[in-house]
Amino acid sequence: MKNAILSHLPVGFPWKDRIAYFETVDSTNTRAKELAAAGAPHGTVLIAGHQTGGRGRLGRSFQSPAGKGVYLSVILRPECPPQQLMHLTCAAAVAMCEAVQEAAGFRPGIKWTNDLVCGGRKLGGILTELSIEPGTGLVQYAIVGIGINCTQQPEDFSPEIRDIAASLSSIAGKEVNAAALAAAMIFQLYRMDAALLTKKAALMEAYRKDCITLGQDIVLVRGEEKQYGTALDIDEEGGLLVRFRDGNIRAVTSGEISVRGMYGYL
Ligand code: BTN
């Protein structure tokens, strides 16, 4: 698999010697954190054929069956305070839209903040984790972990997510090559990294174009509490500007947003 991925990357690709492939790991993000703490360089990429403990946002799990998806994490070491990286997940999401378009021939949307979607179903997600240098308060490393469902058929998803998940192959109506997808993801992450601190406004503009949440009626769920509103815009930090039913407009920066017509919310 690793050679197949390398064969899809340009000759002389700068991160080529930093790509590691594992048949099975618990979580590529967890492994990446261990490697980063041990000094692994910027641009180290970990890919797994199977994850036994794939992790998602909000403490959820990410189903990662063997040979069906691409499960990948990259270690980045941008030299900046964490406040300058608030847009990292958004930038990665746009990069993944590009990668899917290249490998599968259609462009997914982004459900704020980190879900790749098409036809109201989830195709994948992004989990970003930061470590801060205690002395300086600067970012020590950032891990961007991405899982994309590539060749699953409906029966490959557990019953709980079968109605809300889909794979690239099922949407494209043709086999999508996982090695080509992985290479496109790595290449687009490399491009994103080059623009991350210098082209923030352009990255956020691209995010707004791909974000299907904008203009939709949403529910913000925090524990037992539900707040209803309309998604108006995305701010420069990736926060979702929502007009709530009380008329107030506030930036939402965390929590779960349900969008009408998606994932069973009617
Ligand atoms: C989400 O849907 O909330 C985010 C899912 C992120 C899954 C990817 S798979 C590769 C990397 N390793 C993990 O354990 N999680 C991310």
What confidence tens digit (pLDDT) does each residue in 121-154 have?
A: 999 999 999 999 999 999 999 999 999 999 999 9
pLDDT less than 70: residues of the chain: 264, 266
pLDDT, residue 261, reads: 73
- For residue 60, give the ligand 1 atom closest to its CA: 3
What pairing do the DSSP bridges indicate for beta strands 19-22 and 115-118? unpaired
Angle at 264 between CA 149 and CA 125, to 5 degrees: 30
Ligand 1-lining residues (CB < 6 angstroms): 27-29, 51, 54-57, 60, 62, 71-73, 114, 125-127, 145-147
Q: Nearest C-alpha to atom 15 of ligand 1 is from which residue?
A: 55
Contact yes or no for 89/130 (Cβ under 8 A): no
pLDDT, residue 256, reads: 83
Q: What is the pLDDT of residues 89-115, one digit of tens each?
A: 999 999 999 999 999 999 999 999 999
In one letter, which amino acid is 149? N
Angle at 1 between CA 193 and CA 89, to 5 degrees: 25
For residue 75, give Cα distances in angstroms to 14, 20, 115, 158. Answer: 14, 12, 20, 30
pLDDT, residue 266, reads: 61
pLDDT, residue 158, reads: 93
- For residue 69, give the ligand 1 atom closest to its CA: 9
249 Cα: distance to centroid of ligand 1 (angstroms): 31
Pocket mutation for ligand 1, best pick of 62, 63, 112, 164 (most atoms within 8 Å of C-beta):
62
HEC sequence for the chain: CHHHHHHCCCCCCCCHHHEEEECCECCHHHHHHHHHHCCCCCCEEEEECCECCCECHHHCECCCCCCCEEEEEEEECCCCCHHHHCCHHHHHHHHHHHHHHHHHCCCCEEECCCEEEECCEEEEEEEEEEEECCCCCCEEEEEEEEEEECCCCHHHCCCCCCCCECCHHHHHCCCCCHHHHHHHHHHHHHHHHHHCCCCHHHHHHHHHHHECCCCCEEEEEECCEEEEEEEEEECCCCCEEEEECCCCEEEECCCEEEECCCCCCC
248 Cα: distance to centroid of ligand 1 (angstroms): 33
Q: Is the pTM of this model over 0.85?
A: yes
In one letter, which amino acid is 129? E
